[in-house]
Amino acid sequence: MTRMMGLIAFALLAVGCATNSAIKEQIDPLSNRISSIEQKQADMDAKLADIAKKQDTQSADIQGLRGDMAQAQTNTQKAQQAAADAQAAATRAEAAAQKSTKAFALGQHKGK
């Protein structure tokens, strides 16, 4: 009976033990899948880094454009003010010319 129990125990151990090749057969597909997933993750990380870099560049460009736009608005306001000043000076010059024309005409008329 003890001999029978020993044989049963040995048979169970022999059947339950896995060989190195059996373990390798089961682990290799998993290892390949994990490697593939890690490679895809690395590719995604690289793409995200590239997108972040482009976003930073675009943000800097936008800030530059905003500065240029503010400068253009300032220049436009200065130009409008200069045009208004020139218009006022032209109006004053025209009024002075009319006065001088009238004064010249009166002087010519009195001198005769």
What span, in angstroms and rounded, lies between the C-alpha atoms of 68 and 88? 30
Longest dimension (CA), the chain: 163
pLDDT tens string 40-93 = 999 999 999 999 999 999 999 999 999 999 999 999 999 999 999 999 999 999
Confidence band of 11 (pLDDT split at 50, 70, 90): low
Distance (Å, rounded) from C-alpha 1 to C-alpha 14? 20
The pLDDT score that the predictor gives to residue 108 is 73
Q: Average per-residue pLDDT in the chain?
A: 87
